[in-house]
Structure 1
Amino acid sequence: MSRSLRDLESLLPELDAAPADALEDQDLDFKEWPERSREKAVDQVVEMAICMANGGGGTVVFGVRDRVVGRADALLGVPPEIDVNLLLKAVYDRTDPRLTPVFEDLFVPEGTGRLLIMQVHGGLPPYTDSQGGAKVRVGKDCQPMTGSLRRRVLIETGETDFTAGLVEGRPADLLSASAMEQLRDAARRERAPEDLLHLSDHDLLAALDLLTQGRLNFAGLFLAGHPEALRRHLPSYVWTHVRMASDTAYSDRLDGNDALPVALNRMLDRIMADNPISTLELGLFHHEYRAYPEIALREALMNALCHQDFRIGGPLLVSQYPDRIEIANAGGFIGGVSPHNILRHRPVPRNPLLVNALVRLRLVNRMNLGVRRMFQSMLEEGKAPPNLAEHGESVVVSFRKQPISGPFRLFVADEGQAGRILSVEHLLILHDLLGHPELDTARAARLCQRTEPAARDLLNEMETGLGYLERGGTGRGTYWVLRPDLHRRLAGPGHPERNRRIAWEAAKTRTLSVLKDRARRGEPGLSNQEIRQITHYDRNQVVRLMLELRAENPDIRLGGAGRSARYSVDCARK
């Protein structure tokens, strides 16, 4: 997805509080223009065009230093004599298949006054240069197109859908009657079309494109196959549920080779057998809540089953510890999806034919709602959301075992009755502010996986529209806190409201004291990293803290740029 000039203009003010590198994403990169070598500059343009095209398309902004804070220092610009027609010809001539990006100028008052924008549209990768070399966009980085990455690109484009392959043998000998019935039952609960569910087994599989020329494909085998057929034709697939007594020992284990609906139900049954219940009074009724919401577990298991990479050996592993559950499937994130954008990224199916059949049965959707449901079901009960991580060639979803927060759940219910339905983003912000004294725009953007302008709009809505938050500070030093009455309500009895600015002021006092001590001893000042160690804040919070501190203390100076930048006290004025 490309970024418009308007989108980019709205991002540029953020450079005063964060380096350009922090604003980058799968579809956005900032690059400094190599002024000393025209050849290197053209090489960089060609390389970035290939990288972005292989990663699904995106926008490259040339003329920006990506590791400095401060708009004036970051926006160096592109020489005015650079001819975009020559760049377009170079990209076209040196790529295979041919790429034709769109170049645009963005004029700014800093540097040369000109930023060069390259919009690259995703096509049918892989793309290489004329010598066969290539890179691909993975998160914020352009990585060499190794064999495994080439395979990943082919999977993402549907060129190598393993589940579309055909299985040897008569379909009737491969299918499980129990699996077919459980598949129908699950689809009926999700209100799949009745005319589809009333078809015979053969006609239902054919309607779902699971039969090709009378033969069952691997998607059909995985959805309705007999365990013996699955063991024979899909030997790499197995699911395992383990009850862990500790991090190094387990008390109980079960392995299976069942078709998807059977495997889902068997794993859920085992998890729910050790999923404690809490009772909460809501009005006249007493409601029961599990430590792990069933909807969150079901969505996590379904995601793991759908995105299983059948080419990679290893089980779909469910590890149930005394304090957490971990669900891991073979196959890492693909298509630019990462733990840092999964809430908002378009879904990318690893097994398109399998997913298409599940979509028609309404067991999954194309709107990436599954992950949001996991987050929503945990957050509505006042619990921390699941943690998603990529470990090598696998994705791991972790749920912490937590008691329900009665005050938080009651608040969500009351808001719903009043017609205010809280989104995942609303819940993330409320949950964060119960554990932290304040929230700034930068952290809200990372938390909600949004741009900073979008995060700022969300915080403004929660302040002025919903009345949940209060604003403090000004300009780049703006922060938000929970309204005192809401904090008392959500935290519950026994948690008196704290003075939420004490920690911030104490951090400024401590930092200023260290700076003065170092100046008296003739030692260098403090870097952003060193101040983070002193205050336990993140990079953007330190930038904001130091902006306030410098405004209050004119003796503090900032020297250097990038990682060599240091804050110090001007001894000459003392």
Structure 2
Amino acid sequence: MLLDILQIIKAGETNTVEFKSWIKTPKFKEMIELLVKEAVGFANTKGGTILVGVEDDGEITGCSKFDTQNIIEAIYDKTIPKLFTDIEVIELEGKEILCITVDKSTEIISTSNGITYRRLGKNTKPYYPSEYSSNKIEGYKGDFSAKVIGNSSEDDIDFLEVENLKRKLQSREKDSTLYNLDDLSFLKDIELIKIIDNEVKLTVAGVLFVGTETAIAKYMPQAEILVLTYKEGKTEYHKRLDLKIPLVRAIDRIQQLFEDQNSIENVQVGLFKLEVQDYPINVFQEALLNAMTHRDYENTSSIIIKFYPTEIVIENPGSFPEGIDSKNIISHPSTPRNKLIAEIFQKLKYVQRSGQGVDIMFKDMLALGKSAPDYTLYNNAVKLILRSSLEDVEFLKFITKEEERIGEFTVQEICILKYVKEYKTISLPKAAEVAQINKQSVASVLSNLSQKKNILQREKRNSYMFTHRVYAEFDDQIEYIKDKDFDEIQAEVMIIDYLKKNGTITRADVEVLCGFSNTTSKRVLRKLRSENKIELVGKSTASKYVLFQEN
């Protein structure tokens, strides 16, 4: 070892060797700043060795009054992601020098001040973002989570976590045979490890799902989830949970915290009581899984989950995937930033199908009378707010009754109905915007809602509004009184057209055809009879209406 070091010193500084004088930099703080800079430069290039106590010309001047543990921890604390180094004290020519070894990093390292360096020959130079290599990983189609971590090994695997994954798979996917495989074959099959030159190497997803806590801290220290809990009226959190553990274990911990404070409100709907949670469990789970699947794992920030008394805020590093924004987030096909992570969650049945998630969140929150999920997009982050407040009990009751009558609404139908509830009418262009689909597609959605007798088209005004039956459900007669003359005239035309095609119509048929209440249907039919446009034939339950026939 001594001979090797002497040969290295004799060869002088290179792109993998740096000399640092101890006597010329006596202050510990200044020395650490120099060592951090050199360590970051080596980590971002090929790795290297820093020899402290050696002058630029190779003279051995030694070190004094040093603490190797403090040096290692200082380098660790002042780098992002945290940089692990090895340090050894070597005696040469009766003097002690420090040999600090820095491995090449699998990701870009910077100082805690946000400055990045790399090695250029014998010097360490600033390394600017425009010079970084593409985020796309050759051979992995840009999926960072499938990247192989070169210096990982089988020792980095937490085999208890592997058993945990197998148990979940066995209980949720009865037809799967994966859980019968031996541990390494299982991990290889789902691409959490690769076998390279007969050695086990973990992928990024492998570290995140089955890595030991030490491996996560070493290779993916940025993969941290902070959970903060706040009390009513307080701006400072009163509980904090830092999670640097495998993803599935983190989900279980966070889910338990969520369920412990997720309250229920009883709402009377007809003859039964509906239990309405502050946040539907599946909505929170989708939000949490989206954060883990879509976050930028090359970003040094953490996922932050904030539990407030009336809302949950999830802040996620990394912007939306290309092509997705707040105006198409419901309808845009899913494009997970980390495809392998998404596939593992799908195999474990945390998600039901690829591409489903945000649409469920919007549908379930709006259908429960709550506000829609609130997304805010920043340059390098996404913030989601879920609010617990039950804002529109009438809408909740209406949707519940209608889905019992005619089956589930789609998310696009829910969005349109919610808009009409708030603004009374909706145009075709506005419906396309609200439902986040094109005009041709939204025309079909509006047609379906018309067939279900939820809305009526007001042709002369190029807009749609609720039918009178729906207004009666909301106990909202203002719009009914305002527009009843127009809509009853339209209904008269619909009834006459129906009779021309079908010959007869009953009062119950009119209720369904026009979306009218019993009282309104009787009034319209009575008016048509008085004008000799239709006549009543038959009696009691057999009575029906036909077109008026002059004698």
Q: State the TM-score, normalizing by the size of structure 2.
A: 0.57
User: What's the offset of the Cα at 1:212?
Assistant: 0.5
Matched, 1:228 2:214: yes
- Indicate the residue corresponding to 1:487 in structure 2: 471
Q: Which residue of 1 aligns with 2:534?
A: none
Matches within 5 A, 1:285-434: 286-364=273-351, 367-403=354-390, 408-434=395-421
Instruction: Quote the Cα distance in structure 2 between the aligned partners of 1:227 and 1:301.
Output: 21
Per-residue deviation, 1:357: 2.9
Q: Which amino acid aligns with 1:402?
A: S
How far off its partner does 1:333 sit?
1.0
Equivalent of residue 209 in structure 1, options 191, 210, 223: 191
TM-superposed CA distance for 1:260, in Å, is: 1.0
Q: How far is the alpha carbon of 1:454 from its aligned partner?
A: 2.0
Distance 1:191-1:404 versus aligned 2 partners, 3 A rule: farther
Where structure 1 has 5 or more consecutive residues not aligned to the other structure, the ranges are 1-145, 504-574
Q: Deviations over 1:28-59 (max 9, x none)?
A: xxxxxxxxxxxxxxxxxxxxxxxxxxxxxxxx
**What secondary structure, in the 3-state scheme, does the structure 2 residue paired with 1:348 have?**
coil
Distance 1:185 1:373, change over 3 A: farther
Tell me how far 1:380 sits from its aligned partner: 2.4
- Match of residue 456 from structure 2: 470
Contact map agreement 2:229 2:306 (CA 8 A) in 1: yes
What's the CA shift for 1:473?
4.8
CA RMSD of aligned residues (A): 3.1
Equivalent of 1:499, from 460, 479, 502?
479
The DSSP-based 3-state class of the residue aligned with 1:166 is: coil
Which residues of 2 match residues 179-258 of structure 1 at below 5 A? 179-188=161-170, 190-191=172-173, 193-213=175-195, 214-245=200-231, 248-258=235-245
Q: Is the 8 A contact 1:306 1:351 kept in 2?
A: yes
Aligned letter for 2:477?
E
- Measure the CA separation in 2 of the matches of 1:298 and 1:227: 23
User: What SS class does the counterpart of residue 395 from structure 1 fall into?
Assistant: strand
Using the alignment, how far apart are the partners of 1:148 and 1:424 within structure 2?
43
2:138 maps to 1:164: no
**Is this contact kept in 2: 1:155–1:161, CA < 8 A?**
no
Alpha-carbon separation, structure 2, partners of 1:268 and 1:400: 17
TM-score, length of structure 1 as denominator length: 0.55
2:136 and 2:143 in contact (8 A); partners too: no
In 2, the alpha carbon distance for the partners of 1:228 and 1:350 equals 25
TM-superposed deviation, 1:174:
2.7
TM-aligned CA deviation for residue 155 of structure 1 = 9.9
Instruction: Could you tell me which runs of 5 or more consecutive residues in structure 2 were left unpaired when the two chains were aligned.
Output: 1-128, 484-551
- Rounded to whole Å, the distance in 1 between the matches of 2:404 and 2:164 is 35
How far 1:219 sits from its partner (Å)?
0.7
Q: State the one-letter code of the partner of 1:478.
A: N
Q: How does 1:55-94 map to 2 (within 5 A)?
A: none
Structure 1 pair 218–152 and aligned structure 2 pair: CA distance change class (3 A): closer
- Of residues 217-226 and 197-206 in structure 1, the stretch that sits farther from structure 2 once superposed is 197-206
- Please name the residue that 2:500 is paired with: none
2:424 is aligned with what amino acid? P
Is the CA contact (8 Å cut-off) linking 1:437 and 1:500 kept in structure 2? no
Matched, 1:457 2:455: no
Contact 1:152 1:334 in 2 (8 A): no
Deviations along 1:198-217, one digit per CA (max 9) or x if unpaired, are: 33332221110111112221
Q: 1:192 to 1:357 in 2, by over 3 A?
A: farther
Q: Is the contact between residue 175 and residue 221 of structure 1 (CA under 8 Å) also seen in structure 2?
A: no
Q: Distance in 2 between matches of 1:344 and 1:157?
A: 27
Higher Rg:
2
Change in Cα spacing, 1:328 to 1:181, as seen in structure 2 (3 Å) is farther
Comparing 223-232 with 168-177, greater Cα deviation is found at 168-177
User: Could you tell me which amino acid in structure 1 is paired with residue 181 of structure 2?
Assistant: L
Partners of 2:303 and 2:317 within 8 A in 1: yes
Superimposed CA distance per residue, residues 389-430 of structure 1 (whole angstroms, 9 cap, x where no aligned partner): 212211222111122866544544444444532111111111
Distance 2:225 2:171 in 1: 24
Q: Is the 8 A contact 1:379 1:427 kept in 2?
A: yes
| Secondary structure of the corresponding residue to residue 296 of structure 2 | coil
Q: Check the 8 A contact 2:302/2:317 in 1, yes or no.
A: yes
1:259-316 Cα distance to aligned partner (Å, 9 max, x none):
1111112112212222211134568865533111110000010010011211101111
Q: Give distance in 1, aligned partners of 2:455 and 2:172.
A: 37
Q: Is the 8 A contact 2:374 2:385 kept in 1?
A: yes
Q: Which amino acid is 2:186 matched to?
A: L
Amino acid at match of 1:497: Q
What CA distance in whole angstroms lies between the structure 2 residues aligned with 1:501 and 1:445? Answer: 28
C-alpha distance after superposition, 1:293-346 (max 9, x if no partner): 110000010010011211101111111222211112111111312221122222
1:162 and 1:443 map into 2 onto residues whose CA distance is 39
What's the CA shift string for 1:91-149, capped at 9, x where partnerless? xxxxxxxxxxxxxxxxxxxxxxxxxxxxxxxxxxxxxxxxxxxxxxxxxxxxxxx9599
Amino acid at match of 1:223: F
1:375 touches 1:385 (CA, 8 Å); kept in 2?
Answer: yes
Q: Amino acid of the residue matched to residue 265 of structure 1?
A: D
Residues in 1 aligned to 2:133 and 2:432: alpha-carbon distance in whole angstroms: 32
Per the alignment, in what secondary structure is the counterpart of residue 425 of structure 1? helix
Task: After TM superposition, give the deviation of residue 457 of structure 1 in Å.
Answer: 2.6
Counterpart residue identity of residue 165, structure 2: L
Partner Cα separation in structure 2 for residue 155 and residue 496 of structure 1: 61
Maintained 8 Å contact 1:156/1:335: no
Cα distance in 1, alignment partners of residues 139 and 254 from structure 2: 28
CA 1:460–1:160 in structure 2 vs 1: closer, same or farther (change >3 Å)?
closer
Q: Which amino acid aligns with 1:485?
A: R
Are the counterparts in 1 of residues 145 and 339 from structure 2 also a CA contact under 8 Å? no
Tell me the percent identity: 22
Q: Cα distance, 1:358 vs. partner?
A: 2.9
Q: Which amino acid is 1:480 matched to?
A: Y
* Compared CA separation, residues 293 and 351, structure 1 to 2 (3 A): same
Distance 1:387 1:196, change over 3 A: same
DSSP 3-state at the match of 1:450? coil
Alignment partners' CA distance in 2, 1:372 and 1:167: 38
> 1:153, 1:335 within 8 Å by CA — same for their partners in 2?
no
Per the alignment, residue 258 of structure 2 pairs with: 271
Distance 1:498-1:422 versus aligned 2 partners, 3 A rule: same
